[in-house]
Chains A and B, each alone.
Chain A
Amino acid sequence: MASGKEIRTQIKSIKNTQKITRAMEMVAASKMRKAQERMRAARPYAEKIRNVIAHLRLSHPEYKHPFMIERETKRVGFIVISSDRGLCGGLNTNVLKLALNEIKTWSDKGADIDICTFGSKSLGFFKRLGSNIVSELSGLGDTPQADDLIGSVKIMLDAYDEGRLDRLFLVYNSFVNTMTQKPEIEQLLPLAGEEDEQLKHYWDYIYEPDAKDVLNDLMTRYIENQVYHGIVENQASEQSSRMVAMKSASDNAGKLIDELTLRYNKARQAAITQEISEIVAGAAAV
C-alpha cells in the first residue's frame, strides 16, 4: 500500500490537472456559443447560394460550365478540415478516418490523390502518411474570414479547371448538436446534377455580361462558401466536442480524487492504529 505522502502528492497533481481541464471546459463553452452563432449567421448565404445553384441546374444554360461535367476519374482531390488543436475528444480522429477510408477506395480504383488541408491536425496526419499535399492553411483562429480561404480553394479549383483533378471532395465535421458531431464527406465537384426530365418548361437566365464569366464567378463563390461553411461547422464541432471531453475529464479527475482521498484516510488511520498498538505494547512490556 502506498504511503500517506505518496498518495498526497498524487492527489495534488490530479487536482492541478482538474483545474486545467475545468478552465478549458469553461473556455470551450463560451467559444462554442460564439462559434454556433457564427454558424447560424453563415447559414442564410449558404442556403441562398445553394438555391441559385439548384435553379441553375434546372435551367438549360447555353454554356456548360466544366464544373458541371462528369469526367473519367484519374485524380481525386480532397479538402480535409480539422481543428488546429487537440484535446477535443475523437473529433479529428473520426474525420481523418473517414477521409482515409474514402481515399483508399479511390486509390484502389487506380486514382491518384491530391490533398488540401485546413487545420494543423490534418496537415500533420497527411504529412506523416506521405500523401501529396498541394495546399495547406492552418492557424485560422476563432474567427475565420471567408477571404482567408480563397487562395487554398483556388489551387484546387484551378487544378480542376486544367484537368489535373477530376473530382473534389470536402471532408469535415458537421455539427448536429452539442453532444453529437458527425464526420461528413461531400462531393464538391463535379456538381452532382441530376438531369430532371420532367421539367415544365425550357428556360435560361439572362447573363450579364456573358454566361461564362458569370457562371465562373458564381461557381467559385459557391465552392468557397461550401468550404467556409465546412470550416465554421467544424469549429463549432471542435469547441463543443472539447467542452464535452473536458467535462468528462474533470468528472473523472473528481472521481479519482475521491478514491484517493478515501485511500489516504484509510492509510492514515492504519498508521495511527499501528502507532497506538505499538505504544500500548511498549508500555505493557515495561
Chain B
Amino acid sequence: MAMNIHVDIVSAQEEIFSGTAEVVVVPLVTGEVGIYPRHTPLLAPIKSGEVRLRNGDDEQFFYVSGGILEVQPHVVTVLADTAIRAGDLDEAQAVAAKERAEKIMANKKTEVDYAKAQAELAEAMAQLSTIAKIRKRGKT
C-alpha cells in the first residue's frame, strides 16, 4: 500500500480541506514542488496558483492566491490567504478582475497602483489557468 501524507488546507476564513494524499504539489515562489511522505521539514511562501492532491488516479485541485507552506514529515499544512475549491471558481469574475487590472495598468498613475494591478492580474491569470485545466480534464 502506498504511503500517505496528511494534508490540511486552511484559510483565515474557513477550513478548506483536511485529509490524506499520496503526493501534494504546491506552487512556491521559487517554483512548484511535489511533496511525498517523509519530506524534511520545510517552510516556504506560496504564490498564487493551484495546489494539487493526488490519490492514485484521483486528483483534487485547490486554488490559492498566496500563503505559507509548512511541511513536517507526515503533515503538510497550507496556510492559504484565500483558498477556494477550484471547481467553484467564478470564471466571469476572474475575467472581470483581469480586465479591470489591465485597464489600470494601461493608464497607470502611481507606482503603488501599478504594483497592485500587477498582483491582481497575476491572480486572475492563475485562476483562469486553473479553470482551463479543469475544463480540459472534463471534470468540474
Binding site for B on A (CB under 8 A): 38, 41-42, 44-45, 48-49, 51-52, 55-56, 59, 146, 203-209, 213-215, 217-218, 221, 225, 228
Contacts and interface: CB of A to CB of B under 8 A. Distances in A.
A221 B11 CA distance: 11
A218 B13 CA distance: 17
B41 A41 contact: no
Given A42-B12, A51-B77, A214-B68, 10 more contacts: A45-B79, A52-B77, A55-B70, A205-B43, A207-B42, A208-B30, A208-B33, A208-B42, A213-B45, A214-B44
Contact of B42 (A45, A206, A213, A221): A206
A36 B99 CA distance: 37
B15 A45 contact: yes
B41 A214 contact: no
Interface of B: 8, 10-15, 18, 28-30, 33, 40-45, 68, 70, 72, 77, 79, 81
A239 B41 CA distance: 42
A215 B44 CA distance: 9
B48 to A, nearest CB: 14
A213 B30 CA distance: 13
Contacts of A215: 43
B13 A42 contact: yes
Contacts of B18: 44
A209 B29 contact: yes
6 contacts: A48-B10, A52-B77, A146-B12, A146-B13, A203-B41, A207-B44
Given A52-B70, A208-B30, A225-B12, A214 B43 contact: yes
Contact of A204 (B8, B13, B41, B45): B41
Contact of A48 (B29, B33, B41, B77): B77
* Highest count of chain A CB atoms <10 Å: which of B18, B30, B77: B77
Given A48-B77, A52-B77, A221-B79, A206 B12 contact: no
Contacts of B29: 208-209
Given A44-B10, A52-B70, A52-B79, A59 B45 contact: no
A204 B40 CA distance: 9
B72 to A, nearest CB: 7
B18 to A, nearest CB: 8
A213 B45 CA distance: 9
Contacts of A203: 41
Contacts of A204: 41
Contact of B41 (A42, A206, A218): A206
A51 B11 CA distance: 15
Contacts of B77: 48, 51-52
A225 B44 CA distance: 18
A208 B15 CA distance: 25
Given A49-B79, A146-B12, A225-B12, A207 B43 contact: yes
Nearest to A56: B43
Nearest to B45: A217
B45 A41 contact: no
A204 B45 CA distance: 17
A228 B81 CA distance: 13
Nearest to B29: A209
B79 A41 contact: no
A55 B12 contact: no
A228 B12 contact: yes
A205 B42 contact: yes
A225 B79 CA distance: 11
B40 to A, nearest CB: 6
A-B complex: 7 closest residue pairs judged by Cβ atoms: A208-B44, A44-B15, A146-B12, A205-B43, A41-B14, A45-B10, A44-B10
